[in-house]
Amino acid sequence: MIIGLTGENCAGKDTLAQYLQKKGFEYLSLSDVIRDALADEGKPITRESLIAKGNDLRGKSGPNVLAVRTIAAMQPAKHYVVVSIRNPSEVEELRKQPNFKLIHVKAGPRIRFERMKARRREGDPHTFEAFMHIETAEAQNIDPSKQQMRAVVQMADRVVENDHDFRRLYESMDKTLADLSADFKPTRPSWDEYFMGIAKVIASRSNCMKRQVGAIIIRDKRIVSTGYNGTPRGVRNCNEGGCKRCNSFTDSGTKLDECVCSHAEENAIVQAAYHGIAIRGGTLYTTFSPCLTCTKMILNAGLTEVVYSDAYPLGGEPMRLLSEAGVLLRQTKV
């Protein structure tokens, strides 16, 4: 879940962000992109310099630039709270992320002005009139690269009132989170996507110079054995010169009797035997459909299903044998 917080100055966005941090949300601020840019230039960080630099970045790199750079810092499987959203293009960019919701933290201008005075920050306006003048300037601009708070708050999915004490603010946020959680549906890969994805990662361990292939054997939706193609145990790796046939890049389908590399499916089956693991009745996931030798091993090992991603160039006869023996054969492009 990604929660964006927007609102007028001193509405309580940072207070609410700190509250969400206690609930496991990672904190990100679009303003930090501007601060980093100012720091790189050796310039002081003030309210005026932040506004000017933010406008400059949006003008040069597009009005969504702060959101783009902030999103780049996000990691999968984490919740985030994002603050300092001040331009509609930033909202539009954040909405491209799944499960993003924008919350307008709202408070009356007099209350916000009193909060500003209480924080005693250098550079803050000292009169209500000056405070409102700055707010009006930030609310709307003809230039699309500048701050447009009025348009941003109108894009909010929810409004949280902060005209009272912290307890009521937090209660309101808790209720909002409960409402949003009903719509929050984490995406999960299908079993085919899950297992084939793992097989593809396993393939990256292959030391074969010709082709990288990965395979896994599944029983009861559990991985019981894995394998990737390469030279046998105790033999120099293929990518270190261990297999002359592969290292000479012999034409595909020729001189197979000279190849010393074991195939991924073969290794998955042999590894199960090596460790005394039963695989009868299991499913084999492989990034390439099996060759004839591996097919015979699959049949004799008692595997009942083969799921593959790409077809092996010499796979006609192996597929016929699997079909004749009653092994379920499926191709999945995930």
Q: Which residues are catalytic?
A: 265
Tell me how far apart the alpha carbons of residues 322 and 327 are, in angstroms, rounded to a whole number.
5
**Chain centre distance of CA 290:** 32
Backbone angles phi, psi at 225, to 5 degrees: -160, 150
Q: Tell me the C-alpha to C-alpha distance, in Å, between residue 214 and each of 46, 72, 152, 163, 268.
A: 55, 30, 48, 59, 9
Tell me how far apart the alpha carbons of residues 150 and 135 are, in angstroms, rounded to a whole number.
10
DSSP code at position 263: P
What does the DSSP assignment read for 33-62? Answer: HHHHHHHHHT----HHHHHHHHHHHHHHH-
Please, is 324 exposed, middle or buried when counting C-beta atoms within 10 Å of its C-beta (0-12, 13-18, 19+)? exposed
Residues 6+ positions from 236 with CB-CB distance below 8 Å: 242
Backbone angles phi, psi at 3, to 5 degrees: -105, 120
**Chain centre distance of CA 206:** 26
